[in-house]
Chains A and B, each alone.
Chain A
Amino acid sequence: MTSISSRRPAERLFVTGLGLCGAAASLTIVAVIGVTTVEATPALSVAGPQAFLTDDGWFPLSGRFGLMPMILGTVLVSLGGLALAGPMGIVSAVFCNHYAPAAVATAYRLLLKALAGIPSVVYGLWGLVTLVPLIAAWAPPGASLLAGILVLALMILPTVAVVADSAIQQLPPALHRGGAALGMRRHTIAFRVVVPAARSGLATALVLALGRALGETMALLMVTGNLVQYPSSLFDPVRTLAANIALEMAYAQDIHRSALFVSGLVLALLVAAALVVAEVLAPDGTRHVD
């Protein structure tokens, strides 16, 4: 009796603390969206929301606010990067768990974590001074959708690989043993049993990587050329929404500044849309695993 009554206030305090932390996290997001919306309002009311979708070209100082080429640019670069890094990351996680000797797997995991920790501006600088001139010698101007996809793939590969690796590690060992007991070959176990079982964890890895890709700024700013246009090939320059903000915010005033907040709002919507799609494609839950 005494132990319960003495535990209860502590318990209550703990629960309150948890609630406060949760509230602080979610309120921060609400506040960020709120401030962005307030700052975006002048441009939205002066130009009208449809102007951002239908205007031809982005010349905010001349009253033209077309964001569509940048929305498309952001989506193409991100999906392109994910298309390269996603399969590579998942395969590398399978390699770590089912093929690599323990020592190699440990070293490989360390390497991936180190890669994940490199600041994006370093990848951007490498892209600018090495990758872009290489592409430029082949198909000028070099700074292009392709350069963005390659740099981005390199950047999000560690994210996919590390998260996918821990998703596979967390599967019950019985799955693997059961497969082996049934006489399955190693690759059958890996790709027919383990990968499907880790589906929701792997989807999380892809969504996290896509989120990082959509919001990536500095590295892409340095390699994509930042031209506001619909690319007609992989070698055409594009501008992403995040790069748009970083490029112009420092000197933007009034409506121009407000229009950049609209870019931010659209970017937030894109990330939200990615989360919804991921939720539909791979519903959360472990029911596949038991």
Chain B
Amino acid sequence: MPLRRTLVAALTAACLFPPLAGAAETAKLTVTGASTLAPLVSEIAHRFENANPGVRIDVQTGGSSRGVADVRRGIADIGMVSRVLKPDEDDLTVNIVARDGVGMIVNTANPVDPLSRDQVIGIYTGRITNWSQIGGPDRPITVVNKAEGRSTLDIFLEHVQLKPTDVKAHIVIGDNEQGVKVVAGNPWAIGYVSIGTAEYHAQAGTPVRLMALGPVVATTGNVANGTYGAARPLNLVTAKPPEGVAARFIAYSQSPAVHDLIHDQYFVPAPR
């Protein structure tokens, strides 16, 4: 009788707490680094935690450099780095999760196509102020720029080799969606957004047209395969080749199971 009762209790417990019955794994991962990657990695971590009870993942921002420094000092298990690693960072193991590319957008009513890199620089520094100067109609150009700290601003400025103080804008926006709405509502505006956002809206019928920043056609495909210039990799780095929970988390971040989360952030999943 006592034996049977114990058995019943054990079975009940097993049903109530299945994770305890299976191979319970309790681990804590600390992930620090780029604020560009943090929202995506937080979402992935959330999903990973649900699938692996007992695992806690703590995501903190502080910039790519902090991600590198923290994994080197062992403070973090995984670092988030939103750029190509520098030559002196080759001691780290790099795992690319996604890529982020920037393309120019104009209204579909605007006939000017294509734009050279020099013309884009001219427009953003105030040297070209009217579409007639570059083969369009006689309309003043409305220049749309991003707010300080946004990663698309960094990619854009890096690609056109401008300092934040060089840009002479008319409108400053926050996120990609706002950029699309501004350009959709103003036929003579020009802006830049993540290619994922622009492609989505162009296909959905929003009156915006995506133009390349550079010689390669701006498509998410060209961002994914790395041929598109104004783009950068979003990496997870570790001090040593990852193992255990860290390795599983990185593999999960690179798996198709999180592609929807990557698309939600308007990034492009990177081919492995």
Tell me, yes or no, whether B50 is within 8 Å of chain A by CB.
Answer: no
B151 proximal to A (CB < 8 A): yes
Q: Which of B115-123, B185-193, B243-251 contacts A (4 or more CB under 8 A)?
A: B185-193
Q: Does B257 contact A (CB under 8 A)?
A: no
Docked pose: A225 CA to B178 CA in angstroms: 11
Which of A59, A136, A228, A252 is close to B186, meaning CB atoms less than 8 Å apart?
Answer: A136
Complex Cα–Cα for A239 and B170 (A): 11
| Interface contact A133-B185, CB-CB below 8 Å | yes
What are the residues of chain A within 8 A of B47 when measuring CB–CB?
A: none
Contact indicator B142/A253 (Cβ below 8 Å): no
Contacts of B188 in A (CB 8 A): 136, 140
Q: Is B165 positioned at the interface, with any CB of A under 8 Å from its CB?
A: yes
Q: Which of B165-199 contact A (CB under 8 A)?
A: 165, 169-174, 178, 181-182, 184-186, 188-189
B46 sits at the interface (CB 8 A): no
Inside 8 A of B35's CB, which chain A residues have their CB? 250-251, 253
Within 8 Å of chain A (Cβ to Cβ): is B164? yes
- Give A58's nearest chain B residue, CB to CB: B148
- CB A23 to nearest CB in B, in angstroms, measures 35
Q: How far is the CA of A237 from the CA of B170 in the complex (A)?
A: 7
Give the residue name and chain of the A residue nearest to B62 (CB). A253
Question: Given A140-B140, A253-B63, A256-B149, A227–B186 Cβ distance below 8 Å?
Answer: no
Are the C-beta atoms of A252 and B172 separated by less than 8 Å? no
Q: Are B147 and A248 in contact (CB under 8 A)?
A: yes
User: Are the CB atoms of A225 and B147 closer together than 8 Å?
Assistant: no
CB distance from B72 to the nearest CB of A (A): 19
Interface residues of A in 139-158 (CB under 8 A from B): 140-143
Residues from chain A with a CB closer than 8 A to the CB of B127 are none
Tell me if B142 and A142 are in contact (CB < 8 A): yes
Which among A62, A129, A221 is the interface contact of B174 at CB below 8 angstroms?
A221
0/1 string, A192-225, CB within 8 A of B gives 1: 0000000000000000000000000000011001
B150 within 8 A of A: yes
Chain A CB within 8 A of B61 CB: yes
Taking CB atoms, residues of chain A closer than 8 Å to B173 are 226, 247
A140 contacts B142, C-beta separation under 8 Å: yes
> Would B149 and A252 count as touching, CB distance under 8 A?
yes
Q: In the complex, which of the residues B62, B139, B149, B150 has the most CB atoms of chain A within 10 Å of its own CB atom?
A: B149
Q: Return chain B residues, CB-CB under 8 Å to A143.
A: 170-171, 182
Give chain B nearest CB distance to A240 CB in angstroms: 12
Give, as a whole number of angstroms, the nearest-CB distance from A150 to chain B: 15
Please, how many angstroms separate the alpha-carbon atoms of A222 and B178 in the complex? 7
- Please give me the residue from chain A that is nearest to B174 by CB atom: A247
Shortest C-beta distance, B255 to chain A (Å), equals: 27
Interface centre among A59, A141, A237, A246 (most CB of B within 10 A): A141
Chain A residues positioned under 8 Å from B185 (CB to CB): 128-129, 132-133, 136, 142
Residues in chain B near residue A60, CB distance under 8 A: 148
**A170 and B207 alpha carbons, distance in the complex (Å):** 53
Q: Does A42 contact B (CB under 8 A)?
A: no
Q: Which residues of B contact A179 (CB under 8 A)?
A: none
Q: Are B186 and A251 in contact (CB under 8 A)?
A: no
Known pairs A128-B181, A128-B185, A251-B35; A61 contacts B171 (CB<8 A) = no
Contacts of B149 in A (CB 8 A): 61, 248, 250-253, 256
Q: Mark A241-267, 1 if CB is under 8 A from B, else 0.
A: 000001110111100100000000000
Decide: A129 and B186 in contact? CB cutoff 8 A: no
Asked if A231 is at the interface of the complex by the 8 Å CB criterion, the answer is: no
Partner of B171, one of A57, A227, A248: A227
Contact present for A141 and B170 (CB under 8 Å): yes
B-side contacts of A133, CB under 8 Å: 185-186
**Known contacts A140-B188, A251-B35, A253-B61: A226-B147 contact under CB 8 Å:** yes
With a CB–CB cut-off of 8 A, which chain A residues contact B178? 128, 222
Does A247 lie within 8 Å of B189, measured CB to CB?
Answer: no
Contacts A133-B185, A136-B185, A140-B142; A227 near B170 (Cβ below 8 A): yes
* B186 close to A226 (CB less than 8 A): no
Least CB separation from A131: chain B residue:
B185
Give Cα A59 to B172, complex, Å. 13
Cα distance A141–B140 when bound, in Å?
Answer: 9
The answer to whether B148 touches A227 (Cβ under 8 A) is no
B→A interface (CB under 8 Å): 35-36, 61-63, 139-140, 142, 147-151, 163-165, 169-174, 178, 181-182, 184-186, 188-189
* Interchain residue pairs A-B with the least CB separation, the first 4: A251-B149, A226-B172, A141-B142, A247-B147
17 interchain pairs, CB-CB under 8 A = A57-B165, A59-B164, A128-B181, A129-B184, A140-B186, A141-B186, A143-B171, A221-B174, A226-B171, A227-B169, A228-B172, A237-B171, A247-B172, A247-B173, A248-B147, A248-B149, A253-B61
Apart from A61-B149, A225-B170, what are 16 other A-B pairs with CB-CB below 8 Å?
A: A61-B148, A61-B164, A62-B165, A128-B182, A129-B184, A129-B185, A132-B186, A141-B186, A227-B169, A227-B172, A246-B174, A251-B36, A252-B148, A252-B149, A253-B63, A256-B148
